[in-house]
Amino acid sequence: MARTTVSLPFEPRPQEIELEDIDLGDKRLDDRARLIFGAWSAAPESSLPRAMKDSAQLEGAYRFFNNPRVDSGELVAPHVTCSWQRAVQASASGLWVLAIQDTTEMRFGGTKERDGLGELMNDGEGFYAHTGLLACMASAGEQRDDSVAVPLGLGGCEILVRPRDRQKKPSKISKKQWERARHFSEDNEFLRWDRLANDLEDAAREHGVSVVHVADREADEYSWMANILSRGGRFVIRQTKDRRLLDPHNEQESQRLEALLGDSHPIEARHGRSTTLGVHALTTTLCRPDLSRATEKTITVNVVIVRELDPPDGQTPIEWRLLTTESIESPKDVLRVVDAYRARWLIEEYFKAIKTGCGYERLQLESLHGLKIALSFCFAIAWHMLLLRTIARDAPNVPARAVMTASQMAILLAIAAMPKNPWSVKLDADPDATAVLYAVARMGGHLKNNGPPGWMTLSRGFQELRQLVLAQRLFAPRSDQS
């Protein structure tokens, strides 16, 4: 497979820039927020007591998380603004900007009930974070016909807390009656998809950007698609429900399907195996289901069907049925839709970076208020983890100064200059970002034979590097010593 070479549509900057314009209404709170963010992002896998440098910092951090004057929305706002600014740059470069949406469960253990949390499925307490991650589709290079998803940052989020005393189905009414009543209820949990899509669409228009909403099967609801279409929006969504068509026997549609039947697109499946997919497309009109909030009786969408042609023995064949607003006029158009849906996996990595990379669910904060504040920090930290992984794998032309400080670079070059160093790190005199990130990943335990580095090994490597920078500062000669 040809080497991936992606040109980023924005210039990466130090992570601290994400909270540079924070305004919590009190300079002391702003300074404390920057201090916590700097310490936590330097050691995201560590617990808060380990990430903070001393007991005074730790005590200040806990006061910050418990301070009722700190608003989690205001705290994350600078990162969201930076994310949309990157989206503007991506759009100006002619790239698709994706608004990838999904819901993740935030579950917290312990025997003590925490203030403000709700019930989760299969017992336990916590909340749901319905999240919109911005990304762009960058070309994978002249030798490749697919794209690489580049994370741009958080576009928006809604926190959903299920009441512990949520109403159960009354015994006197049927299941069908209960489902209908819940569907049209104002507290229907699915409405979070409409609210976030509207928020993302509003923000996109405010910044002069057109976004493609990307979602998995949970969002396959007629009303969601109709809502986006009514606003002139765009989407790529995976179908899961069987739907009524206005005219399922249209001969012209059958001809369009046959025209693309022989085309195939080699892609890399989720488990790392290479496969060949048959890709087919057609245009059809969906009828409104009996149970729907939508006012539109029909909507016209394009359908892209992806099937694995020759799966390995014992493996379930890949099959996606995608509904989209995007063009399917040419094979290239169809493959672009497929690549947009493939980018959806990025949000799963984002959630993993929050939960595992930042240790979010291990936090011992005792209230929803404090946990929402902590999540605001984690959104920015997790995005930066994914960005570094993208640069290491796919963007060799990024300068090294964009991914590390001068002190870190000096230490890394000094390690590489040693005839024998503990990590077998090797670097040229003027390395690019990809080279230095591979070296950092090696310090985090990455083995070259295991393929490109992931965000976890990069995070661990940076933690090692920051410890060495700290040691160098501690033992450096002081100017006031004779």
95-113 pLDDT, tens digit per residue, is 999 999 999 999 998 778 8
For residue 211, the model assigns a pLDDT of 97
User: Helix, strand, coil shares of the chain as percentages rounded to 5?
Assistant: 45, 20, 35
Joined tokens for residue 417: 């200059």
Selection from 54, 187, 165, 71 nearest residue 118 by Cα = 165
Average pLDDT over residues 388-392: 86
Please state which of the ranges 115-119, 139-143, 223-227 shows the lowest mean pLDDT: 139-143
What is the residue whose two structure tokens read 């670079």?
Answer: 409
Joined tokens for residue 138: 């960058």
The residues that bridge with 277 in the sheet, in sequence order, are 265, 308
Torsion of CA 121, 127, 128, 133, to 10 degrees: -150
Question: Rounded to an integer, what distance in angstroms lies between the CA atom of residue 348 and that of residue 295?
Answer: 33
Please list, in sequence order, all residues whose beta carbon lies within 8 angstroms of the beta carbon of residue 219, skipping any fewer than 6 positions away: 101, 193, 237
Angle between helices 27-42 and 455-475 (to 10 degrees): 110
Indicate the CATH number for domain 88-362: 3.90.350.10
Higher pLDDT, 190 or 211: 211
Joined tokens for residue 140: 């994978």
Amino acid making up residue 125? E
Query: Residue 25: left if φ>0, alpha if ψ -120 to 50, beta else—which one?
Result: left
For residue 128, the model assigns a pLDDT of 95
Joined tokens for residue 11: 């210039």
Q: Residues 274-308: pLDDT tens digits? A: 677 788 888 888 888 888 888 999 999 999 988 88
Selection from 333, 332, 329, 305 nearest residue 319 by Cα = 305
Output the CA angle 239-245-251, nearest 5 degrees.
110
Average pLDDT over residues 310-333: 88
CA dihedral (165, 170, 176, 178) positive or negative? negative
Please check whether residue 219 is in contact with residue 193, taking contact to mean a CB–CB distance below 8 angstroms.
yes
Question: Rounded to an integer, what distance in angstroms lies between the CA atom of residue 105 and that of residue 119?
Answer: 11
Q: Up-side HSE of residue 32: CA atoms within 13 Å toward CB?
A: 20
- Give Dmax over CA atoms of the chain in angstroms: 91
DSSP secondary structure letter of residue 423? T
Question: Rounded to an integer, what distance in angstroms lies between the CA atom of residue 164 and that of residue 120?
Answer: 9
What is the residue whose two structure tokens read 């993208």?
Answer: 390
For residue 341, the model assigns a pLDDT of 94
For residue 354, the model assigns a pLDDT of 94
- Do the strands 211-215 and 234-238 form a parallel or antiparallel pair, or are they unpaired? parallel
Selection from 100, 155, 156, 164 nearest residue 127 by Cα = 164
Please state which of the ranges 144-158, 261-275, 322-336 shows the lowest mean pLDDT: 261-275
Please state which of the ranges 161-170, 210-219, 353-362 shows the lowest mean pLDDT: 161-170
Distance of CA 167 to the CA centre of its chain: 33
Please check whether residue 188 is in contact with residue 76, taking contact to mean a CB–CB distance below 8 angstroms.
no
Percent of the residues in the chain that have a pLDDT greater than 90, as a whole number: 41
Please check whether residue 70 is in contact with residue 29, taking contact to mean a CB–CB distance below 8 angstroms.
yes
Question: Rounded to an integer, what distance in angstroms lies between the CA atom of residue 114 and that of residue 65?
Answer: 14
The winner for highest mean pLDDT among 13-17, 74-78, 389-393 is: 74-78
DSSP secondary structure letter of residue 367? B
For residue 70, the model assigns a pLDDT of 96
For residue 352, pLDDT beyond 90: yes
Q: What are phi and psi of 32, to 5 degrees?
A: -65, -40
Domain ranges of the chain: 88-362, 400-474
Mean pLDDT estimate for the chain: 84
Please check whether residue 393 is in contact with residue 2, taking contact to mean a CB–CB distance below 8 angstroms.
no
* Residue 153 DSSP SS3: strand
* Residue 247 DSSP SS3: coil
Question: Rounded to an integer, what distance in angstroms lies between the CA atom of residue 476 and that of residue 141?
Answer: 45
Decide: pTM greater than 0.85: yes
Please check whether residue 193 is in contact with residue 205, taking contact to mean a CB–CB distance below 8 angstroms.
no
Please list, in sequence order, all residues whose beta carbon lies within 8 angstroms of the beta carbon of residue 478, skipping any fewer than 6 positions away: none
Please list, in sequence order, all residues whose beta carbon lies within 8 angstroms of the beta carbon of residue 341, skipping any fewer than 6 positions away: 214, 236, 238, 320, 322
Higher pLDDT, 377 or 272: 377
